[in-house]
Amino acid sequence: MPIQTSYSRYLAPALEGMIADQQDANLLSKRATAAIGFGKVALQGTAADAIKAVGGAATLFIGVTVRDQSTGANSPDEFKANDAVRVMDRGTIWVIAGENVAAGDRAAFLTATGAFMKATTADTTAIDGARFDSTAVSGALVKLKLK
């Protein structure tokens, strides 16, 4: 059995899809129509209880998938098709910034990839009432506040 011989001085502040604080939040119970990662854009699926990942034309934004430690060992960083998924539609959650963002910037996502962005362009879909709640560079964790 291997023995750990090195340790990080500091723990990571969070992981993608973790709930950022204990302020007012709302979590929905949905069903994944296909595999979807933690901290990802969740769009309305074809059934009322279903969500899907971004890909192709954007449909109704439902929320952001919440990290869940009860997923199987074979898929520790995502939900599989037909898994029950917690989706946050109000509250603060950790996501990966798709570009450099600052606290207070309005949030959107790239329609093709689901990357979280600050600017609304022809390639992005605005997230009503959402803003970034911290500052981060592209590819780093950032707090996203959903209203």
Question: What does the pLDDT profile of the chain (147 residues) look like in tens digits?
Answer: 688 888 888 888 899 999 999 899 999 999 999 999 999 999 999 999 999 999 866 679 999 999 998 877 677 789 999 999 999 999 999 999 999 999 999 999 998 899 999 977 888 999 999 999 999 999 999 999 999
Domain that holds residue 122: 26-146
Residue 13 in any domain: the answer is: no
Q: What is the pLDDT of residue 9?
A: 84
The Cα–Cα gap between 111 and 115 comes to 8
Nearest residue to 96 via CA among 114, 79, 111, 123 = 114
Residue 39 in any domain: the answer is: yes
Domain count, the chain: 1
Residue 123 in any domain: the answer is: yes
Residue 16 in any domain: the answer is: no
Residue 19 in any domain: the answer is: no
Q: Are 109 and 146 in contact (CB under 8 A)?
A: no
